[in-house]
Amino acid sequence: MFTKKRLLFLGKFLISGLLFAYLIHFINWQEVLQYFKNIKIIYVIYFLIFYCTGIVISARKWQILAKFKNFFYPLKFYIETYIIGTFINNFLPSFVGGDAYRIYRLGEEKKNFKISSGTVVVDRLSGLLGIIILSIIFGLFNFKLFSQNLILQFISLSLVVGFFTFLLLIFLVKWKKDFVKDKLNILPKKVFEYFIYFTSFREIKIVANFMLYSFLFSFIGIALANFMLFQSMGIEIGIVNYLSVIFLISIVASAPISIGNVGVKEWAYITLFGLFGVSSSGAVAVVLISRFLQMMVSFSAFPLYLKKKKGIDKN
């Protein structure tokens, strides 16, 4: 018997398989290999610096959210937990696993997993919100291209609609909570609770802080880091053109429609960077080296994971 969860996994597996088959069949792998042979190591080092800086920024943002909810741990705790969560997402089959680990580690001492889960959800939401805002801003710099391309129009319109829907829901949940809860029933109970949790961050200073860190992470940990990989392979693309789609690509690649976003990220790179003359093989080469480097960084957390896991097993 197929449960909803199994059908969802089967659908993701099918999409991943189809996209993977497309890449195998249509990409010139000799060209991809040539890009790897000519890679400039100095830019790979720059990538690692920016990517690791992004992890620290993300950890700091999570620390700010957690501190507001009376979880007082040093930044080292959040960096370690964050990178172990990334390791779990990369090397274990469940995307939720990394977040579940973060929730457990934060709420372990006080046994308050409801509040710790809220900080992780708000961390995710604020990060997504930051990327959407940057996508809209930098997309305006390439308005002419966006107005002429149906794919860009569809993605951009979806983001704008999603952004304003999110703001509307925040407004309704905060000021018309009973109306949303009793009359509209537009949100599942769990989602409704997390929206209430999100609105609990009333202090402008706190909101400004974690949104600033969201922007910093997106710009440094995503945009600058991946731009270094283009430079490492000698792929020329104007910085304005690059910035106008990299955040869109990040959102598309994070869509939970395939296993580990296999194929989706490659498709997004090929399609959107292809608008600026980047070859399919060049785009795939960038994605593959990015995946490899991110996995190697997260794998460095393996000893930490084993150490923490022993502690969890004992409990």
Write the DSSP string, 247-288. HHHHHHHTSTTSGGGTTHHHHHIIIIIGGGT--HHHHHHHHH
Q: Would you state the structure tokens that stand for residue 28, as one six-digit string?
A: 């010139």
Residue 57 buriedness (CB in 10 A; 0-12 / 13-18 / 19+): buried
CA gap 205, 48 in Å, rounded: 31
What pLDDT sits at residue 225?
Answer: 96
Taking the alpha carbons at both ends of the chain, their separation in whole angstroms is 35
> Which pLDDT belongs to residue 71?
92
**pLDDT value of residue 35:** 95
Residue 76 lies in a domain: yes
Supply 254's token pair: 């994070």
Report the half-sphere exposure of 145 (CA within 13 A, side-chain side): 16
Of the candidates 36, 54, 35, 39, the residue with the CA atom closest to the CA atom of residue 224: 54
Alpha carbon separation from 56 to 60, 172, 189, 262 (Å, rounded): 6, 34, 33, 26
Q: What pLDDT score was predicted for residue 16?
A: 75
How is residue 137 written in tokens? Answer: 């801003």
Residues (pLDDT < 50) of the chain are: 94-95
Does 7 reside within a domain? no
Contacts of 135 (CB under 8 A, 6+ apart): 156, 159, 247, 248, 251
Question: Per the domain annotation, does 32 fall within a domain?
Answer: no
Residue 22 lies in a domain: no
The token pair at 61 is: 């943002």
Say if 181 falls within a structural domain.
yes
In a domain, 75, yes or no: yes
Range of the domain at 64: 41-314
Q: What pTM value is reported for the model? A: 0.85
Domain total in the chain: 1
Find, among 191, 193, 216, 210, the residue nearest to 62 by Cα: 210
Asked if residue 16 belongs to a domain, the reply is no
What type of residue is 233? M
Residue 110 token pair: 């006080």
The pLDDT of residue 243 is 94
Q: Are 220 and 57 in contact (CB under 8 A)?
A: yes
pLDDT, the chain, mean: 83
- DSSP helix/strand/coil, 311: helix
- Tell me the pLDDT tens digit for each residue of 233-253: 999 999 999 999 999 999 888
Nearby residues of 70 by Cβ (< 8 Å), 6 or more positions away: none
DSSP code at position 179: I
The helix/strand count (H/E) of the chain reads as: 16, 0
Cβ of 195: how many Cβ atoms within 10 Å? 21
Residue 68 near residue 260, CB atoms below 8 Å: no
- Is 2 within a domain? no
